[in-house]
Amino acid sequence: MRLSNATLANLPVSVARPEYDRHAQPPGIVHIGPGAFHRAHQAAYVDAILPHDPRWSISEVALNSTGVADALGPQDGLYTLALLDRSTDYRVIGSIAELLTAQRRDAILSRIAAPTTRLVTTTVTEKGYHLDGTGALDLDHPAIVRELTGAEPGTLSGWLVAGLAARRAAGGGAITLLSCDNLADNGHRFRRSVRDLAAARDPDLAAWIDDHVRFPCAMVDSITPATDDALRASVQAATGVEDAWPIQREAFTQWVIEDDFATDRPPFELAGVQFTRDVRGFENAKLRLLNGAHSTLAYVGLLLGHVMVRDAMRDPVLAGFAERLMRDDIAPSIVPPAEMDLSAYIDAVLGRFANPAIAHQLAQIAWDGSQKLPYRLLDTVRDARAAGRPVDRLALPIAAWFRFLELRRHSGETLVDPRADALLARAGDAAALLDLRDVFGDLSDDATFRDAVTRRWHALAPGGDVRAALGE
């Protein structure tokens, strides 16, 4: 049997399922980018509030693939979420009311324009916003150049500009656009990506956006390993039905949202969301401590032959280095919110990394390094340089990334990164990689930083002792 509305009643009582009318009202949320993290995180929060307020189901929009629609369409949008802790709990998520792909252009624009739609959320990863080094829309990017010619929308910005134009024309009223990506100041950057394109194409629409659209910042957190055959098998054994695309994540989850909505907002506080006027402290702690340490474990761990985060955390030398990096080099760059204990937060992150139930592949974390590292590590380097603190330890994961690129070039394995060609062309030459200003910005001119990375890069040379390089 396949998971669907018709087979929900056959699930074991131990499996949680939707306890609400899934189609009581039209969707109130349009989500762009229905990947694993969104379905493990935001869609699960929505599932939790729908019994209290049925206005907030989700219309999922996939711009670049039909995979999610193909998998979940026959399942009526249902899928299983496995929560991994000391024991594994299974929950069927029912918050997806509609699945749209780019082939259904008119349906997507109509849904964004509909007055019942009050919120558009996104998880398109850092590269989906097409921003330049200043945080503005990269008007020279080939995809954005195509948008400026008046072609059919193809980018996130293009689709939203088209959707907001349709909303203005239809009198759909004010709306909130909420980024859920790991991007520093994501609300402000999201606004630039949309408004800059609107201003370039239609200044009147840009003015309407200023008056009618809000872009709150947000911080999201939950470790979400990729779906694999082992998960599919465990889900089928636990539920008794086949699920084409189940999702797994750790039991821990966090969502902090700036309380800046254009209209009424979903009652996410009922599901544990924290609304605040200042997301930055939470965001910096997560991006720099958790994500910065994650990338460190990925690049160094892969050099040591580890496969999973939990394997890297069983390596006492690497785990010790990651903890020192967090406590001594990253934490001093963070001004935490009053309600956050940084030391306790670091303890919790280390415990989450070591969770034996989480099979999170280091190779997956290593994707898109040129997009992730500026926010995860390089901003911390800048703060350390400005404060006169050493950057030797912070330089090591950058050097490990360089060696990772070199290994990818020699092996011929695919490098998942939007700058793959430029990175692979320079792999094996630390100086040439440090000259990439679209990655390193002003740090390309910082002699102290360059020297620290170069020394660490030599220490991580093939055939060398990586663990020795992690020592003080």
Q: Tell me what pLDDT residue 168 has.
A: 98
**Three-state DSSP class for 30?**
strand
| DSSP result, 175-222 | EEEEE-SS-TTHHHHHHHHHHHHHHHH-HHHHHHHHHHEE---EEEE-
Asked whether the beta carbons of 323 and 297 are under 8 A apart, the reply is: no
Q: Tell me what pLDDT residue 140 has.
A: 93
**How deeply is 399 buried, as exposed, middle or buried, from its count of CB atoms within 10 A (0-12, 13-18, 19+)?**
buried
Q: Tell me what pLDDT residue 472 has.
A: 59
Q: Along the 472 residues of the chain, how does pLDDT read in single tens digits?
A: 999 999 999 999 999 999 999 999 999 999 999 999 999 999 999 999 999 999 999 999 999 999 999 999 999 999 999 999 989 999 999 999 999 999 999 999 999 999 999 999 999 998 899 998 788 999 999 999 999 987 789 999 999 999 999 999 999 999 999 999 988 899 999 999 999 999 999 999 999 999 999 999 999 999 999 999 999 999 999 999 999 999 999 999 999 999 999 999 999 999 999 999 889 889 899 999 999 999 999 999 999 999 999 999 999 999 999 999 999 999 999 998 888 899 999 999 999 999 999 989 999 999 999 999 999 999 999 999 999 999 999 999 999 999 999 999 999 999 999 999 999 999 999 999 999 999 999 999 999 999 999 999 999 999 999 999 998 5
DSSP symbol at 82? E
Rounded Cα–Cα distance for residues 148 and 135 (Å): 19
Residue 356's identity, in one-letter code, is P
Rounded Cα–Cα distance for residues 337 and 283 (Å): 10
Residues 6+ apart with CB under 8 A from 362: 297, 298, 301, 302, 306, 307, 308, 309, 312
HSE toward the beta carbon, residue 25, CA cutoff 13 A:
15
Task: Specify whether the backbone of 463 is left (phi greater than 0), alpha (psi in -120 to 50) or beta.
Answer: left
**Three-state DSSP class for 337?**
coil
HSE toward the beta carbon, residue 121, CA cutoff 13 A:
29
Packing angle between helix 156-170 and helix 203-212, nearest 10 degrees? Answer: 80
The strand order across the sheet containing 247-250 reads 88-93, 79-84, 247-250
Other CB atoms within a 10 A radius of the CB of residue 472 amount to 6
Rounded Cα–Cα distance for residues 205 and 307 (Å): 48
DSSP symbol at 464? S
